[in-house]
Homo-oligomer: A and B are copies of this chain.
Amino acid sequence: MADILHRVGIRSSLDDAYQALATRDGLAAWWTNDTRGDSEVGGILEFRFAKGGFDMKVLELVPGTRVLWKVVDGPKEWIGTTIRWDLRQESDYTIVNFKHEGWKEPVEFMHHCSTKWAVFLLSLKALVESGRGAPHPRDVKIDNWN
């Protein structure tokens, strides 16, 4: 098993950062504009991109503390993995520790997704700090897979 890890610090309240992760409108403003579905615990969120997308079951929502999803549909390498967001306040920052856990193999697609997650975490930071993220289709392109 292999995991993708990231950390950003957002100059914001815990609640502002949490809202961007726990609500459909928040998610649409930094990850992909085409975000549908139900953001409550037990619901399925559907994130769509130019080529396909991901369906996530919301497993945990702890205000100001944690968001946890399980991938239930999407690329085969993603299915069954979990995506975890841990938040805490540290001086002027909301610290976000991110973990995309449970990849079966460290395939080349995992390398791509790791870099792309960093791009989207910086989009999340920009959104919460300035009101403007860079969600798909305005996301930063990193390679020939986009």
The proximity string for A residues 78-117 relative to B, scoring 1 for CB distances below 8 Å and 0 otherwise, is 0000000000001111010111000000101011101100
Query: Chain A contact residues: over half helix, strand or loop, or mixed?
Result: mixed
Stretch at the interface among A3-11, A33-41, A43-51: A3-11
Stretch at the interface among A22-30, A52-60, A65-73, A137-145: A137-145
Most B Cβ at <10 Å: residue of A98, A115, A144: A115
Q: Contact: A4 with B5, CB < 8 Å?
A: yes
Q: Contact: B8 with A95, CB < 8 Å?
A: no
Q: Contact: A122 with B144, CB < 8 Å?
A: no
For this chain, the copies found in one complex come to 2
Q: Which of B8, B112, B144 contacts A90 (CB 8 A)?
A: B144
A7-B111, A99-B111 given; name 12 further pairs at CB < 8 Å.
A3-B106, A5-B111, A7-B112, A9-B143, A9-B145, A91-B144, A93-B144, A95-B143, A95-B144, A97-B111, A115-B118, A118-B118
Residues of A within 8 A of B (CB): 2-9, 90-93, 95, 97-99, 106, 108, 110-112, 114-115, 118-119, 121-122, 125, 140, 142-145
